[in-house]
Amino acid sequence: MYEHLKRYGVSKNIIEAMNKIDRKYFVPENVKDLAYDDIPLPIGFGQTISAPHMVGIMCKELDLKEKDKVLEIGTGSGYNAAVMSLLVGKSGHIYTIERIKQLYKIATKRFKQFGLTNITCILGDGKEGFEEYAPFDKIVVTCYSKFVPNKLLEQLSDNGILLIPVGDEFVQVLKKIKKINGQISEEDLLHVKFVPLV
């Protein structure tokens, strides 16, 4: 279903994971007929589920591996966390934070339905990260920020990768930040459109 993602450099194992997690179960009833289109969709509460190509690109740029401990800021529908959970395997773990209680409850229910036991969903403020389980091998932020929160940099492990859209409501760039021997490097990947980190 997602073979077209190869043109974005998305690997076979990411495409397989996306095919295993059926997107139609992560969108509201009123947009289910659009579930397989490569577009973002509204999920209520002013939030969206990312387009499949964006999920694929972010998984690719995170370079997810077995055993990775991942922090996601902005659970939303739970789709992105579900896909990542397959890529890190049973020995890895996804910690995902959602500030909207209704979305948190819906996502938690979906994870149980899919039998995804390597995901911990937290109701809270993503800007603070999740210090209790830091450091993280990978951190992904699924909403834009005007700057990179220091708390997230502090909670990134050495040789870790942080993906975050940075900008404003008009222009956002997906940044890939690496921490190597305590030194931070930044790379601008592409222009994106996300909801704000609040």
Contacts of 56 (CB under 8 A, 6+ apart): 2, 5, 8, 10, 14, 15, 18
Distance between CA 79 and CA 114 in Å, rounded? 11
Structure tokens that stand for 108 in this block = 């938690």
50 is catalytic: yes
Distance between CA 163 and CA 148 in Å, rounded? 10
DSSP assignment of 100-158, as one string?
Answer: -HHHHHHHHHHHHHTT-TTEEEEES-GGG--GGG--EEEEEESSBBSS--HHHHHTEEE
184: three-class secondary structure by DSSP: strand
Q: Which of 50, 77, 85, 145 is catalytic?
A: 50
Report, as residue numbers or ranges, the catalytic residues. 50
